[in-house]
Amino acid sequence: MNHKLEQITNLTINSLLNNKIILPSSYFEKFNHYAKEIEINLDDIDFTKEINSLILQDFNKIEEYMKTIISSTIKLQDNAKDASKAILDKDTESLDNVCEKMINLEEEIRNLTNQLFIDDITGIYNRKWIYSKLLDENANFKEDGICILLDVIDYDYIKKEYGELLANNLLAFAVNFINEKLKDEKYNFQIAKYLENKFFIFIFDETRQEILNKIKNLEQILLKTTLKSNSGLLIKAKYDFKLNLFKKNQNSKNIFEILLAYKKEE
């Protein structure tokens, strides 16, 4: 049920990308439409319980984050007092100890914040990260670069025929493969999950032709790769890549729409 709810949400958001303003009524109209397509009864008690459970999970995450921030603020105040005292007393050992505590505190906050922007299945950034970190408050790009859409085409088929676990492992494999190959090339890049089986790869400081050649090579390698599950099942999946340039201060909406709507010629 959790998976179906995520699928309905992704379809709803994707269908409303063209709208400059998304009214609650428009969102729920589309949400209801896709729920019916996937044969989900919104009045079903189990579905309602699932939604409430997910809302509660999100609330608990936010509450945990806020508790940590409050606790960190108190620690920061204590560390500041200890530092002031150490400076007055010329106690270098205590001052070093305070500095170490401050570093640990900073790392603790950073790790917790990152959890909000990580996809549970693949371990890479999620859509929240794109809109919170990569883009500015107007959803414009902060610098020039290249955006590549990775579409794991066979995800739905594999999920239906062989199960969600194997399908999710396929996503993780594809993303990890691309991640390692781009790291080997020492590119300045980031990967983020945008929809259920679609990922955006953002590459900076590189020429279009160089990236295009590299992506074509990676696509061919992936298409020729046969995966073997723990049960011995062999799977050869289909993937698709699309590429577009973006400029600093350019609105991301147009770029994302072009990539998501583009159909490769057979």
**Tell me: the pLDDT tens digits for 68-118?**
655 655 565 666 666 666 566 666 766 567 667 667 666 766 666 667 788
Residue 226: enclosing H or E segment and its boundaries? none
What ranges do the domains of the chain cover?
2-42, 46-115, 127-261
pLDDT computed for residue 254 by the predictor: 87
Residue 5 pLDDT greater than 70, yes or no: no
> What is the Cα–Cα distance from 109 to 120, expressed in whole angstroms?
19
CB half-sphere exposure, 38, CA atoms < 13 A: 21
pLDDT computed for residue 265 by the predictor: 44
- Letter for the amino acid at 155? Y
The pTM assigned to this predicted structure is 0.66
CATH code of the domain occupying 127-261: 3.30.70.270
The rounded Cα 168 to chain-centroid distance in angstroms is: 14
Q: What angle do CA 223, 255, 191 make, to 5 degrees?
A: 50
